[in-house]
Amino acid sequence: MGKTGQLTIFWGRNKDEGSLREACDTGLYTAVIMSFLNVYGHGKYRLDLSGHPLAGIGGDIRHCQSVGVTVSLSIGGFGGDYALPTNRSALDLADHLWLSYLGSRRRGVRRPFGRARFDGVDLFLEPACAECRAMEPACAGCRREAGGEARPMASSRRGGAGPVQSGS
């Protein structure tokens, strides 16, 4: 069965939806957005996967990528406890994302999914994109879309990593 086109799904909001691996193995999706890192700012970070156990998700991420499905992490969400009150807090969030979920490692920084690296980050921010503006110093570019979403590019200070999430 061939790909159905460019179909993306949010995963992680319902513990009854099955595993990430199962979603990727359906053959229906070209991208999965894991939701949400919904607490950030003021030095706090929390990932909410609505009852999904963290154990095994790193292996599922790598499996999905091996079958050609990109996997991104969505930050924000509906009613989350997130704020970027200063440019410094936006830079701190960018560093947290880079070190904990994307392409780098640092001694003492916990990577919740082990060696797995997300293909990108999706900003799902309410209200309207106030946090998008705060994130701009941490991004090489920021494309706004309807609904307050944005897809940042990795900063060149991160070693020229290129797109964090390629959007169409």
Q: Which tops the pLDDT comparison, 125 or 139?
A: 125
Residue 120 buriedness (CB in 10 A; 0-12 / 13-18 / 19+): buried
CB atoms within 10 A of CB 97: 22
CA distance 142 to 14: 29
**Structural domain includes residue 164:** no
| Number of domains, the chain | 1
Q: Helix, strand, coil proportions of the chain in percent (round to 5)?
A: 25, 25, 50
**Structural domain includes residue 36:** yes
CA distance 168 to 163: 12
Predicted local confidence at residue 80, as pLDDT: 67
Q: Is the pLDDT of residue 126 over 80?
A: no
**Structural domain includes residue 3:** no
Residues 66, 45, 126, 150: is their CA dihedral positive or negative? negative
Give me the domain span that covers residue 63: 8-158
Q: Is the pLDDT of residue 7 over 80?
A: yes
Q: Can you read off the two tokens belonging to residue 142?
A: 């920021």
Q: Can you read off the two tokens belonging to residue 24?
A: 């990727």
Catalytic residue (choose from 126, 131, 136, 149): 126
**Structural domain includes residue 167:** no
**Structural domain includes residue 13:** yes
Strands 149-152 and 142-145 come out as: antiparallel
Predicted confidence (pLDDT) per residue in 14-42, tens digit = 889 999 999 999 999 999 999 999 888 77
In the chain, count H helices and then E strands: 4, 8
Predicted confidence (pLDDT) per residue in 50-108, tens digit = 889 888 999 999 999 999 999 999 998 877 678 888 888 889 999 999 999 998 777 88
Q: Which tops the pLDDT comparison, 168 or 126?
A: 126
Residue 112 buriedness (CB in 10 A; 0-12 / 13-18 / 19+): middle
Among 70, 78, 56, CA closest to 149: 78
Predicted local confidence at residue 103, as pLDDT: 82
Residue 131 annotated to the active site: no
Q: Which tops the pLDDT comparison, 163 or 5?
A: 5
Q: Is the pLDDT of residue 155 over 70?
A: no
Average pLDDT over residues 128-155: 43
Q: How confident is the model at residue 109 (pLDDT cuts 50, 70, 90)?
A: confident
**Structural domain includes residue 140:** yes
Question: Which CATH number do you get for residue 76?
Answer: 3.20.20.80
**Structural domain includes residue 165:** no
**Structural domain includes residue 163:** no
